[in-house]
Structure 1
């Protein structure tokens, strides 16, 4: 104990941390974390004390940290020694930051509340300040330990671009911003920082080879394990398409499963841009045998209580629905989502995030031409309906994202999306409407962002039609009080912020029928969801063109 006390007093050379919002595990419910995108003033401080639960090891170090930070931690421990590197929760930083500390490394996905969900829902609510993610990041950076002289601060993570966009670097006391993947450039940059050499404020990572990617040494939040990196479908609003696709070997995956369980996680969260990318065949066709082997290996590992998958594409399971049939028993047994967890859930189900994005084949051809492979995006609405139907047949209830505001979007594009949403009535889904946000590294990074103030009535219909379906499916017994709350909040607060285009769509969300209000879009669905489509495969030339564009995008990104 004496040596530990001495080490704590002197501090560690490099300390890693994250905000409470980003390194809590919320009872192994990652979807609860989305509430951090809501206005922070809606949450009393007394409530937040219990809401956030960053867990601590007996030695004071953080039990869980975001996966990306754990990867950086492993790189730093290998280079500088485990005795010089530590990850600590925000409230425990004083125990590890001392006279020997030279650098504090921070990670954040949403430090200024400018990510897709934060921008959309903070604006929609319309009062209560900026997102809780942003408020918690400020709380971390305002701690006295962060202001000690002689200690440099480096911020990385998926949200690092927000600091420059919001002009917050100086006010938050951040010295360096690390953009991109850490494995190829982080160590060299930190060596130079520690040697007091001149280092550019904005540091850009390279494109690592698989051999440069380290194994995590401690548990990640939700027991996260990366099984693929990169994508290749060429969605222009997304960053993974700029990274070369790579499937992690099973033995490497299982070593990280072992580490997560050893250090206290009960869940394994599968990090991937698409669950079906794992060792996929040509044109993104799923490799059923390898997928079953992967998930059975994880499910059979002692101590794994839950398995959660992050993202999935629809095209692979339209091509081969038997993949769902094979995986469903494995994942259902390990699902967090059951009546035992929440009595409002009618049965046990599998949840995964699915990007629908639009119902317009014109928009798909312009910005997401590879999203439907091995099919053509010319049949995108039918593919979406069939894919969701196939998922529902095997107790997969997807959380589906859709967006408005992509460059050059027209009213006809929006009508096609609204028709698709209408045709999804009766499906077992959670529809999440989002506003388009240009993200660093994406091909559309220079595009104009859309704001709530400029939304048309059709765009408001897009948002409210999604939430009408969510209320109908997920909260049918609570409609009365939900409708009353929406009506009251809108007419007392939100109406004056959102303007006249929002009136009819929001009143429909408050329970008034389409037949009474009319408006820019009127639902015609009978609520029956029974898709049966035969969808033709894409032309070979289309597949080759997308593969060529993907390779060029990855190469260009590497050069930059």
Structure 2
């Protein structure tokens, strides 16, 4: 049945991937607007999609204007969607697979469409940053990501399809959120897919096209990149994304990537994807990895300086590459091999447009998470390897010093409300803040969220309504430091005005425990009413 369907489509339509009119393309792939957008080529602007839509949607609107080719297909889409496109095109033929923008779905979905595949990233706004800062603000509606995912699922083309003939399949890293909130039926999703697609997806799609009965929820089998013949992308991805490693292995209990087999993609594979992106009109390259220092890593997580430097040198030297973005890194490898940072820095500083006080700098996301050795031992001991976890605070302080000396100013996350966190653990994080107070970084405190598929998936979700005063202190101290590092002195008055206005709301919503940290944020910690009962980070003894 499948082969005759494909043959009929190939025989009756010689125009390939172009506009299909009422017939439609057999397999149509799409995603919500934020996931589809490239935010002017800056992946860090995309973080705004995690904030309430009424506040930031007017700012982001200009980035959501479709960039289409002559046949109405988006020029740039998310890397995950491009990977799915390459897998399915190899199996079913390019003429039977198309990626469509949400605003042009009607051009490609028609009578002969059998599958609408939707990639989800943060569909309900449950990612760490989304939930933390939507909860903190408390107004402005759902996150931008949720707003536009809901809009996509209500699209007339999806709602009015022939539901017997055309199936809707949703996958991607955000699929767990839909299951968690039991929204599969409400969104009209026929098949919810969890896990990496490279091993099982083609068999699943064969079954859909053959009209076989399929479970409403499907878990993909584990992928072995060495055996599963993963194809490189064939069309440009947003930001010029290329995948250099997959998996991690450090064993953090709150993190999904640690469950995947660690693998470094051959440099030839990476450079093929670099070429596809640059020839497709992208001017930057964004390396996708759970840790850039895992590339061809040696035993006990000792970084392979030669291979890492070679990789980034080749990317930087490729004609047309104007900028290189980094995704994630770990702190311990920086301390293991400071010379690696010294050798990488001139390569990356030449390929960055980021400036602080007029000087170029490199940034990358690093999960510090806590200053507590106890919490490190309980949930993220592997972060310290190859060092002893007892040295964690020293590793962080030393690593930040090495990075700063080479003009790297990382974005560092700190988990608030980890399982089994006590006042002593929170104080340890505040002690770490004091230890690194002279370092340049962007502090990003995030509330703990149990993510499906991780060791801590059954732990309690943390909300602002039940965090302690000391945990408030971590959040307010973090953003106070950010203002001092990243804002000009003459802009501090704006912070003060804004937070005095907002303080009354925080007091009303979260109660008295939020007052002292917010006042400290405003630089008013010496106010007489605040001088009693303040636990000190050094001793925890109440004054």
TM-score (norm 2): 0.92
Q: CA deviation at 1:95?
A: 1.1
**Take 1:475 and 1:262, find their aligned partners in 2: how far apart are those partners?**
37
- The 1:258/1:134 distance shift into structure 2, 3 A limit, reads same
Give the corresponding residue for 1:549: none
SS for the counterpart of 2:116 is strand
**Which of 497, 505, 508 is residue 484 of structure 1 equivalent to?**
497
SS in 2 for 1:22: helix
Q: Does 1:32 align with 2:64?
A: no
**Corresponding residue for residue 27 of structure 2:** 14
Partner of 1:155: 170
Give the secondary structure class of the aligned counterpart of 1:21. Answer: helix
Query: How many correspondences in the alignment?
Result: 517
Q: Does 1:467 align with 2:484?
A: no
Partner SS for 1:15: strand
What residue number does 1:256 align with? 273
- The question of whether the paired residues in 1 share the 8 Å contact of 2:20 and 2:107 is answered with no
**2: CA distance, partners of 1:149 / 1:275:** 45
> What is the match of residue 232 of structure 1?
249
C-alpha distance after superposition, 1:518-549 (max 9, x if no partner): 4645578xxxxxxxxxxxxxxxxxxxxxxxxx
Whole-Å separation in 1 of the counterparts to 2:84 and 2:403: 36
Structure 2 spans left out of the alignment, 5+ residues: 1-12, 539-543
Q: How far apart are the structure 1 equivalents of 2:61 and 2:126?
A: 24
Q: What's the counterpart of residue 201 of structure 1?
A: 216
How far, CA to CA, are the matches of 1:203 and 1:167 in structure 2? 15
| Cα distance per residue 1:66-93 (max 9 Å; x no partner) | 1111111111101111000001111111
Q: Relative contact order (C-alpha < 8 Å, sep 6+): which is higher? A: 1
Match of 2:186 in 1: 171
Once the two structures are TM-superposed, the CA of residue 494 in structure 1 deviates from its matched residue by 3.0
* Equivalent of residue 520 in structure 2, options 478, 492, 508: 508
Distance 2:336 2:234 in 1: 38
Q: Which residue does 2:310 correspond to in 1?
A: 293
Aligned to 1:497: 509
Native 8 Å contact 1:20 1:53 kept in 2: no
Secondary structure, counterpart of 1:79 in structure 2: helix
**CA gap 1:266/1:6 in 2 versus in 1, 3 angstroms:** closer
Deviations 1:481-525 (A, max 9, x none): 11210110221x33221221111101212231357534645578x
CA distance in 2 between partners of 1:262 and 1:207 (Å): 32
Q: For 1:514 and 1:117, how far apart are their aligned partners in 2?
A: 31
Separation in 1, partners of 2:467, 2:348: 40
SS in 2 for 1:294: helix
Residue 330 of structure 2 corresponds to residue 330 of structure 1: no
For residue 554 of structure 1, what is the aligned residue in structure 2? none
Matched, 1:278 2:295: yes
After superposition, the C-alpha distances for 1:260-285 in whole angstroms (9 at most, x for unaligned) are 11111111101111111001111111
TM-score by length of 1: 0.89
CA distance in 1, matches of 2:24, 2:536: 63
Of the candidates 189, 207, 215, which is equivalent to residue 192 of structure 1?
Answer: 207
Indicate yes or no: 2:111 matched with 1:99: yes
User: Which residue pairs with 2:233 in the alignment?
Assistant: 216
- CA deviation digits over 1:209-261, x for unaligned, max 9? 22422111111111111111111101010011111111110001100111111
1:93-132 equivalences in 2 (<5 Å): 93-132=105-144
Aligned to 2:466: 454
CA contact (8 A) 2:329 2:366 kept: yes
Preserved contact between residue 67 and residue 221 of structure 1 (Cα < 8 Å):
yes
Q: Is the 8 A contact 2:24 2:111 kept in 1?
A: yes
Question: Structure 2: how far apart are the matches of 1:384 and 1:3?
Answer: 57
Q: Cα gap change, 1:315/1:173 in structure 2, threshold over 3 Å: closer, same or farther?
A: same
Quote the residue 1:538 is aligned against. none
Aligned mates of 2:79, 2:535 — CA distance in 1: 43
The secondary structure found in structure 1 opposite 2:413 is strand
In 1, Cα distance between the equivalents of 2:71 and 2:280? 13
- Judge conservation of contact 2:237–2:277 (CA < 8 Å) in 1: yes
Q: CA RMSD for the aligned pairs?
A: 1.7
- Kindly indicate whether the alpha-carbon contact (under 8 Å) linking 1:484 and 1:510 is maintained by their aligned counterparts in 2: no
Which of 251, 261, 268 is 2:285 aligned to? 268
CA contact (8 A) 2:427 2:537 kept: no
Deviation at 1:176?
1.1
> For 2:510 and 2:45, how far apart are their aligned partners in 1?
26
The answer to whether structure 1 residue 404 and structure 2 residue 416 are counterparts is: yes
